[in-house]
Structure 1
């Protein structure tokens, strides 16, 4: 069974658009093959990019509106989709699920979304696992930079929030590794301080896989140590930061979060 597509490309799309005959650009046509017979009578087509299989699915205007009413999205440089917008979902085939964290797979999924959006003059792109909705121009620029050897697009494909003083949780890492982070920072750390460390942690886990045993790592400043403790089911990774330069003790991980 194929899961819900993580990526939505949002545009004003004609009702009679055929997913099997998208107006691909020349570079896309050279690398994409379409297998429309795989899911006959469904609004789904299989697309092969460089030998890797992905699925495209069509969301009507009503289905698109329902998606954005059911799930809360944080917007990046864009407004909410209009009532005339619909979407095309992009996701990996079931045989790629265990390889979703590999840059080779993520590159091609995002590239496919970029090609589709460019061909349809898309207005926005949404990444469902992180709850991010971005203008298509931002998505296009971020993906181009990533494909050119730039950083993992953590701002789009993941997010984090401070749920209580000093306790930060991620969203979106589960898609790549089946694991989310709960980080507890010392009282002297600002949100900006934590963000610098979380971006590095997120990128490492998203591209290399989950941490499955207790570990320690040197922080980004002298005297700083990151302590890693995965939950028994590996669904969460508790991280505490200790810093010898800070006299006040770090906040402790709440016992109720350990039991989750």
Structure 2
């Protein structure tokens, strides 16, 4: 299994399923077609979505059994691990892989997953970088309501984890900018207030790129500033909220 694969679509596929059975789709905004050279492959092919190429891989239930067992903290894990579901993995093709973090490529990846999932009657979606799974019906709702300027689909592509000391950190942001962020409790902010700000800052970093030096950026509300401080290896960014107006503490 390719370690670069991030998105998996789980479904009850017949033993004789071939990826080449997938049809293309054309509507007012999208044109998706199979790459002409990939018609006869059972477990690998490429699809072209509005000019961008994505690689698809088919894995049978035995291939996916170990992967399913890794997600014990997710509410859907029991359904996954007890099932005989196969999966289709999707990732940007090699020649656009370096731009996987771009809003356009990421959005097309998610939209392609919608088309494929609808055709194969998908049950679950797995996004490995954030270790998140969700029902396919929920995935349809999340991607329907994703903001046009949001480079990350939350909660699928990024999880927020709260530590015992109140620190909240991201899990999955690294896919887009090679680092995660963490907020430590400050100014009496409630956990939900920190979560909102973590999402806001994560979307900004995903759009603008890796933070390599200490800097201030605009916070969630007017007049609020957030100090961003990367660690020595730039793998983590500590975020500290600068708020002079107590009305911002929500």
Instruction: Give the TM-score, by structure 2 length.
Output: 0.85
SS at structure 1 position matched to 2:234? coil
What is the number of equivalent residue pairs in this alignment?
Answer: 242
**1:203 aligned partner:** 203
State the alpha-carbon separation in 2 of the partners of residues 161 and 241 from structure 1: 18
Alpha-carbon distance change, 109 to 244 in structure 1, aligned in 2, over 3 angstroms? same
- Report the Cα distance in structure 1 between the residues aligned to 2:211 and 2:58, rounded to whole angstroms: 36
CA contact (8 A) 2:160 2:170 kept: yes
Matched, 1:124 2:124: yes
What is the CA distance between 1:90 and its match in structure 2?
A: 0.8
Task: Compute the displacement of 1:162 (Å).
Answer: 1.6
Q: Is residue 8–residue 88 contact of structure 1 (8 Å, CA) maintained in 2?
A: yes
- Corresponding residue number in structure 1 for 2:148: 149
The 1:206–1:222 alpha-carbon spacing in structure 2 relative to 1, beyond 3 Å, is: closer
1:73-122 CA-partner distances (Å, limit 9, x unpaired): 5347x962252211100111222232122111011100110000000111
Query: Residues 230 and 238 of structure 1 are in contact (CA less than 8 Å); yes or no, is this contact kept in structure 2?
Result: yes
SS of aligned partner of 1:91: strand
Deviation at 1:150, TM superposition (A): 6.9
**Separation in 2 of the partners of 1:157 and 1:230?**
22
- Counterpart position of 2:235: 235
**Equivalent position of 2:64 in the other structure:** 64
TM-score by length of 1: 0.82
Deviation at 1:237, TM superposition (A): 1.1
Q: Deviations over 1:6-30 (max 9, x none)?
A: 11111101111111221445549x7
On the 8 A contact 2:46/2:54 being kept in 1, the answer is yes
Q: Is the contact between residue 92 and residue 109 of structure 1 (CA under 8 Å) also seen in structure 2? A: yes
5+ long unaligned stretches in structure 1? 247-260
Secondary structure class of the residue paired with 1:186: coil
Structure 1 CA distance for aligned equivalents of residues 104 and 222 of structure 2: 34
* Runs of 5+ consecutive residues of structure 2 not aligned to the other structure: none
Contact 1:8–1:127 (8 Å) recurs in 2? yes
Does residue 1:165 correspond to 2:165, yes or no? yes
Would you say the 8 A contact 2:20–2:38 is kept in 1?
Answer: no
Residue 149 to residue 101, structure 1, CA distance change in 2 (3 Å)? same
Cα displacement (A) at 1:221:
4.7
Q: What secondary structure does 2:145 align onto?
A: helix
The answer to whether residue 57 in structure 2 is matched with residue 54 in structure 1 is no
Cα offsets for 1:131-162 (capped at 9, x unmatched):
1111111111222333x837442211101112
Q: CA RMSD in A?
A: 2.7
Aligned-partner Cα distance in 2 for 1:23–1:221? 46
